[in-house]
Amino acid sequence: MLRRNIGKSKVSNKKQNAQQPALPKSLWKFYFKYAVPGSWGALICYAVAFLAARSGSVLFPYCERWFIAIFEQPVPAGVNFVQFALPTILLIVGVNLFLSISAVLRGMFHARWSPQISNRSSVILNDYVHSQSMSFWTGRMAGQVNSQINYITNGFHAVQDFWRIFASLAFMTVSVGLIFQINMYVAIIFAIVFVLRAAYSWALIKPMSKASKDASSISSKLSGKIVDSISNFSVVKLFAGASREREHLEPVRNQHIAARVWSFFVQRLFWGVPLVVWDICYGATLLFCVYLYMNGQITVSEIVFTVSIYFSTMNTISSIVDSIPDMTERISSASKAYAELVVPIAVQDAPDAATLNVTCGEIEFRNVSFKYKRKWVLQNFNLKIKCGERVGLVGASGAGKTTLVNLLMRFYEPNKGQILIDGQDIKTITQDSLRENIAFIPQDPTMFNRTLRENIAYGKPGASDKEIRAAAKRAAADEFIMGTDKKYDSMVGDRGIKLSGGQRQRVAIARAFLKNAPILVLDEATSALDSETEVAIQKSFDELANGRTTIAIAHRLSTLRNMNKIVVMKDGHIIEQGSHNSLIKKRGEYARLWKMQSGGFLQE
Ligand SMILES: Nc1ncnc2c1ncn2[C@@H]1O[C@H](COP(=O)(O)OP(=O)(O)O)[C@@H](O)[C@H]1O
Ligand SMILES: [Mg+2]
């Protein structure tokens, strides 16, 4: 028989997960502290190549100017025209090569940093949400959390837009300066248009950012609701609820459409109006150039340069204007998602938390009071469970049984009182070490959509096939597993949907066998089993509980026959406790429940 030495409990001190560091409050601090390090080189090279490629907005007009100037200048005697033109043409080719190579390098450096930085953000945020406490999850939908992570991950790409805007503004200033050298009045026309443009954009940035924030928030909400609806497909089928689902989603969908339409509208307004103004100013500039030429104040090559600068500046401005909505949308979606996601972790390890050292597995609830929100679920609850003792928890639904084990697992923290394991307050030890010492089998265990082998092995990373099979045999799971197509390599489906409730529980029990923790907690773990299977694995349970401190919550009292002590709870209080026989003799609540159930399948 399986005998294990509890004294040497198997908490692996070596791989103690250091507690997830508290993430900074500011999104940009998060990016620069956690996502960027390791990619600084690529990011800086990208920024330089970007600037070089952008210089085209000034260098291209120069190339045109130089080329036209060839025809304006007198060719020195004795030099043929091709020879005269060649140096200028070579210069122009050189400039173009420089710009093209810069553009290629910019793309290559981008390819280097972009996926890496996204991936780092994603890894950190995934770790972070896994380090969040239970209360974080009860208030959220998985789909929503996923889309928030995506928003934050994508948010960093706003630096590209930022850099594009910075570079464009810089070269635009240079352009105005160059035009100024040719003619002051043309430069003034340019400058006025830029300033108006900037003022207009500035005025619209706030409403635009609000509109896109609203749109992305409602979009996360919609995506959460859709995932919720899709993942409950079986309920929808069962109740022929497809049209009800559609109706349920409709209000959010309508809000989503309205928010998107408004956001697009504001964006179009943002770049549409200035285009019209530009067209008029273009006409004015051309007219002005003709006037200057008539008065001999401007040459043809200068006119070509001016018009070319005008166009490249117009493109630059368009690219800025296109970037601003993208940038504000990215940043505002990311910062909103970040604020919603990165909230203080309710249950944290103490800074000097030690690892739990289980010597024999004594558990004590000492004056524990707890409420989820307003209503007290437990008040001054006291219970002592001796080393290796098996305690059954019984009580009507809502009595607080699950809450009690949630507190023991430290999914929540008691408002008052202490919970001690072998004299160590669980508040003072690391959560990882606590949970490594407790095998917990919930009522409705969920599975990863991975193979049966991987799901069982989750109880003990690196377990050998032999160990996995032995654990499955003890949990009476081997037989059904060998009956599946690919045996231990069969996939279990999304959250284990390809398995029956009883099969899922047997996999969870196998996992617990493999985990081999000194404390065992079963929360209605056999409720989904049929009577026959239950009898079959009752033995496995007894074996699993052997030598371990065990807390078993059960509706079916038959499963608690072998408990040393039965605790009867009502409204968060203990109303009776004792052995099965003594409680029957007492003719109290337990005896009443027993009488109600003893017509069942169990034989005394
Ligand atoms: N996450 C939660 N948030 C708020 N109230 C909860 C939560 N979980 C349980 N409760 C409430 O706490 C009480 C005890 O629940 P629970 O411990 O699950 O009872 P039991 O397991 O004995 O059926 C119930 O009134 C229940 O509605
Ligand atoms: Mg419960």
The gap from C-alpha 177 to its chain's centroid, in whole angstroms, comes to: 47
* Ranges assigned E (strand) in 312-375: 363-371
| Per-residue tokens: 124 | 């950190």
Kindly report the CA angle at 562 between 561 and 566, in degrees rounded to 5?
A: 70
Any domain includes 272: yes
Side-chain half-sphere CA neighbours of 366 within 13 A: 14
CA atoms within 13 A on the CB side of 163: 19
Q: What b/e string do you get for 192-209 counting C-beta neighbours within 10 Å, with b at 16 or more?
A: ebbeebeebbeebeeebb
Tokens of residue 555, six digits: 């509706």
| Residue 486 confidence (pLDDT) | 92
Q: Is 241 exposed, middle or buried (0-12, 13-18, 19+ CB in 10 A)?
A: middle
Residue 143 is given by DSSP the state: H
Distance 269 CA to ligand 2 centre (A): 56
Q: Which two tokens stand for residue 276?
A: 């019209």
Closest to 551 (Cα-Cα) out of 516, 517, 527, 522: 522
In a domain, 266, yes or no: yes
**Residue 90 is assigned to a structural domain of this protein:** yes
pLDDT of amino acid 595: 83
**pLDDT (0 to 100) of residue 474:** 87
- Predicted local confidence at residue 274, as pLDDT: 74
Per the CB < 8 A criterion, the answer to whether 528 and 444 are in contact is yes
Helices 501-515 + 465-474 axis angle, to 10: 120
Output the pLDDT for position 601: 38
Q: What is the distance between the alpha carbons of residues 383 and 405, in angstroms, rounded to a whole number?
A: 12
pLDDT of res. 19: 52
C-alpha 394 to ligand 2 mean position (Å): 10
| Residue ID of nearest Cα to ligand 1 atom 7 | 372
Q: Across the 604 residues of the chain, what is the mean pLDDT of every consecutive 10-residue run? A: 38 43 88 93 96 92 93 86 93 96 96 95 93 85 88 92 89 87 82 77 80 87 90 87 93 95 86 77 87 90 88 79 78 91 88 90 94 90 93 91 93 94 94 92 86 91 92 89 92 84 86 91 79 73 85 85 89 91 88 73 37
Position 261 in a domain: yes
Report the CATH number that the domain containing residue 206 is assigned in CATH.
Answer: 1.20.1560.10
Q: Enumerate helices (H) and strands (E) in the chain, giving the number of each.
A: 20, 10
pLDDT tens track for 178-203: 888 888 888 888 788 777 777 787 78
In terms of residue numbers, what domain contains 165?
27-341
- Ligand 1 pocket, residue 555 CB under 6 Å: no
- Flag whether 39 is in a domain: yes
- For residue 335, the model assigns a pLDDT of 92
CA–CA separation, 529 and 444 (whole Å): 11
Sign, Cα dihedral of 527, 454, 486, 447: positive
Hey, what are 207's tokens?
């409403």
Nearest protein Cα to ligand 1, atom 3: 372
Query: How many angstroms separate the alpha carbon of residue 407 from the centre of ligand 1?
Result: 12
Does 147 reside within a domain? Answer: yes
Q: Which residue's alpha carbon is at the smallest distance from atom 26 of ligand 1?
A: 398
Strand 390-395 versus strand 565-570 pairing type: parallel
At 224 the pLDDT is: 87
Instruction: For the sheet with 376-385, list strands across it.
Output: 376-385, 363-371, 416-421, 424-425
398 CB near ligand 1 (under 6 Å): yes
Under a CB-based contact definition with an 8 Å cutoff, are residues 186 and 271 in contact? Answer: no
Measured between its terminal Cα atoms, the distance across the chain in Å is 26
| Domain-located, residue 321 | yes
94 lines ligand 1 (CB under 6 A): no
How many Å apart are CA 582 and CA 563, to the nearest integer?
13
Q: Which residues pair with 364 in a beta bridge?
A: 384, 420
Say how many Å lie between the CA of residue 405 and the centre of ligand 2.
Answer: 9
For residue 247, is it within any domain?
yes
Domain count within the chain: 1
pLDDT at position 137, please? 87
- Which atom of ligand 1 lies nearest, measured to the CA of 400? 17
Helix residue ranges per DSSP H, 132-183: 134-138, 142-155, 158-182
Specify which residues 354 forms β-bridges with.
429
Residue 412 CA to ligand 1 center (angstroms) comes to 12
